[in-house]
């Protein structure tokens, strides 16, 4: 077997980040256009605002549950196989969602949105793939560059809600179902692109360079639980895991109910959809656009300081958005911009801490388990979002989401600065 030199590794790392960035950029378009209309489609099929929360939750839950098997595929066969398999599942989920819209079946819709969540899981796991070959001092930046690449598709995606509705009309489908036709095409292209472009596989190459071979070591039956316990046993890992779970839950809890809240403003449906798309685009820009700066902050100022900034931004976002009227697009946009920034800080710094908390042999499993927990937390936030909106309005949704930041502040206060040092 030939030896890979350091310059070769650097070149492979650049190529890997480029391929991953292109994939998540395009994949983000399909994900966000689906997120924008998924809750509205569930509401139309079921006829209640509560179902809107169920629709969004199905996608979030799918991303959480599917994160573990996709991580196992990556662990055994490489990142290329795991990511391509996830996007293939998302294609099937998008097709099923279109069928559910035609048949007006809530059950089929929820199953389809669950499988659709695989695309979100892939977009999140791609950030870990970017760190497989990265130098320890640059892990935060490598993670952030892939997160940043999502900006392109994710900002454009919500604005395709209107054109997607036109496509649905042209194909004889319910208008909101047209967005998922776009998602089918997008996810199929991403899956094929990753299969063709992600060579050599970064995880398998990293193992060969360490002399471990391309195959993963045998895993115990409860490998995910074991890996998560190892993360929690490390002070930095504990802070990282908490930051990732809390940031994602707060973000989803506020974001998924925003389109429904704005829909109560009344007016022309087409105009309302366009305004909702713009507000969600601003939110997504906050999530991804400033990611390189967040990664630089995590590497320079430290992971712990970046997590503290995440908590402050999430609280400010809940206060600003939660006091906005349904038609206050500017205030909602500003609040959701802060929400996205807080999520970015928590996700990037937290993911880096999780990656550094365990040895390389446990990393794919620990990363998949972390994404499972963050998805379950977000799914719970989405489940209660609809009832909270019906009970006390959007302000109650934002207030309950803000309370979730308290555990993060407690763990942060108990984590010494030295715990963030990379292995």
Euclidean distance between CA atoms 123 and 87, whole angstroms: 9
Contact assessment for residue 4 and residue 209, using Cβ atoms and an 8 Å cutoff: yes
Least confident of 10-19, 224-233, 274-283, 313-322: 274-283
Q: What string of DSSP letters covers 187-239?
A: HHHHHHHHHHH--S-HHHHHHHHTTS-SSPPP--TTHHHHHHHHHHHSHHHHH
Q: What is the pLDDT of residues 30-68, one digit of tens each?
A: 887 777 777 778 877 777 666 666 777 788 788 888 988
* CA–CA dist 84, 201 (Å, integer): 12
Residue that is written with structure tokens 């055994």 in the block:
76
* Interatomic CA distance for residues 302 and 240, integer angstroms: 12
User: What is the three-class DSSP state of 322?
Assistant: helix
Residue 131 has pLDDT above 60, yes or no: yes
Q: What is the pLDDT of residues 187-236, one digit of tens each?
A: 999 999 999 998 888 888 888 887 655 555 555 567 888 989 999 999 99
Cβ contact 39:256 at 8 Å = yes
The count of other CB atoms within 10 Å of the CB of residue 221 is 7
204-218 burial string, b = 16+ CB within 10 Å, else e? bbbbbeeeeeeebee
d(CA 87, CA 38): 18
pLDDT at 245: 95
Contact between residue 81 and residue 74 where contact means Cβ atoms under 8 Å apart: yes
Average pLDDT, the chain: 83
Q: How many Å is the Cα radius of gyration of the chain?
A: 20
Share of the chain above pLDDT 70, in %: 87
Q: How far apart are CA 3 and CA 351, in angstroms?
A: 30
Q: Whose CA is closest to 295, among 355, 205, 206, 228?
A: 355
Q: State the Cα–Cα distance between residues 139 and 144, nearest whole angstrom.
A: 8
Q: What is the pLDDT of residue 118?
A: 93
Q: Which of 211-225, 274-288, 289-303 has the lowest mean pLDDT?
A: 211-225
DSSP conformational letter for 2 = P
Is the pLDDT at 1 greater than 50? The verdict is no
pLDDT, tens digit, 9 for 90 and up, residues 74-109 = 888 899 999 999 999 999 999 999 898 888 888 898
For residue 298, the SS3 value is helix
Above 80 in pLDDT, residue 400?
A: yes
d(CA 423, CA 306): 18
pLDDT tens digits, 240-280: 999 999 999 999 888 888 877 887 666 666 667 778 878 88
Q: Give the per-residue pLDDT at 155.
A: 65
Q: 251 versus 164: which is more confidently predicted?
A: 251
What the block records as the tokens of 360 is 């390389």
Question: Quick one: fold of 7-210+222-420?
Answer: Growth Hormone; Chain: A; (1.20.1250)
Indicate the pLDDT class of residue 158, thresholds 50, 70 and 90. Answer: low
- Alpha carbons 118 and 74: distance in angstroms, whole number: 14
Ramachandran angles phi, psi of 10, nearest 5°:
-60, -40
User: What is the structure's pLDDT at 4?
Assistant: 46
Q: What pLDDT, on a 0 to 100 scale, did the predictor assign at position 115?
A: 94
Characterise 320 by phi-psi region: left (phi > 0), alpha (psi -120 to 50), beta (else): alpha
Contacts of range 184-188, beta carbons closer than 8 Å, 24 or more positions apart: 184/91, 184/94, 184/95, 184/98, 186/26, 186/27, 186/29, 186/30, 186/153, 187/27, 187/30, 187/87, 187/88, 187/90, 187/91, 187/94, 187/119, 188/87, 188/91
Q: How far apart are CA 180 and CA 171, in angstroms?
A: 12
Query: Residue 161: is its pLDDT beyond 70?
Result: no
Lowest mean pLDDT among 146-155, 226-235, 250-259, 353-362: 146-155
Percent of the chain at pLDDT > 90 equals 30
Q: What is the mean pLDDT of residues 310-317?
A: 96
Q: Average pLDDT in the 147-175 region?
A: 70
CA–CA distance, 398 with 418 (Å, rounded to integer): 34
First-to-final CA distance of the chain: 28
């Amino acid at each position: 077997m030939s030896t890979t030199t350091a310059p070769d590794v650097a070149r492979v790392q650049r190529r890997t980040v480029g391929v991953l960035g292109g994939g998540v950029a395009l994949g983000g378009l399909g994900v966000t256009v689906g997120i924008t209309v998924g809750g509205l489609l569930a509401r139309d099929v079921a006829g209640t605002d509560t179902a809107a929360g169920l629709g969004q939750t199905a996608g979030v839950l799918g991303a959480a549950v599917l994160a573990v098997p996709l991580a196992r595929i990556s662990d055994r066969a490489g990142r290329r196989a795991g990511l391509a398999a996830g996007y293939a599942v998302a294609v099937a989920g998008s097709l099923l969602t279109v069928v559910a819209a035609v048949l007006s079946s809530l059950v089929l819709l929820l199953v389809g949105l669950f499988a659709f969540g695989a695309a979100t899981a892939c977009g999140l796991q791609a950030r870990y793939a970017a760190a497989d070959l990265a130098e320890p001092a640059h892990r935060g930046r490598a993670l952030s560059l892939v997160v940043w690449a999502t900006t392109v598709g994710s900002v454009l995606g919500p604005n395709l809600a209107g054109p997607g509705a036109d496509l649905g009309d042209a194909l004889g489908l319910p208008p909101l179902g047209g967005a998922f036709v776009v998602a089918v095409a997008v996810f199929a292209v991403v899956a094929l692109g990753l299969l063709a472009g992600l060579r050599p596989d970064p995880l398998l190459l990293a193992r060969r360079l360490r002399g471990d071979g391309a195959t993963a070591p045998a895993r115990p039956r409860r490998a995910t639980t074991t890996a998560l316990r190892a993360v929690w046993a490390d002070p930095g890992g504990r802070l990282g895991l908490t930051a990732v779970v809390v940031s994602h839950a707060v973000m989803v809890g506020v974001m998924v109910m925003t389109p429904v809240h704005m829909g109560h403003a009344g007016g022309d449906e087409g105009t309302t959809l366009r305004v909702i798309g713009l507000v969600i685009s601003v939110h997504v820009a906050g999530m991804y656009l400033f990611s390189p700066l967040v990664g630089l902050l995590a590497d320079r100022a430290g992971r712990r300081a970046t997590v503290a900034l995440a908590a402050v931004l999430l609280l400010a976002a809940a206060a600003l958005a939660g006091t906005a009227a349904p038609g206050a697009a500017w205030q909602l946009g500003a609040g959701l911009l802060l929400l996205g920034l807080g999520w970015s800080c928590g996700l990037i710094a937290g993911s880096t801490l999780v990656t550094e908390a365990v040895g390389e042999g446990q990393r794919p499993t620990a990363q998949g388990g972390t994404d499972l927990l963050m998805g379950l937390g977000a799914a719970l936030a989405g489940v209660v979002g609809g009832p909270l909106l019906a009970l006390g309005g959007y302000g109650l949704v934002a207030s309950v989401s803000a309370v979730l930041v308290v555990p993060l502040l407690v763990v942060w206060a108990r984590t010494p600065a030295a715990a963030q040092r990379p292995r």
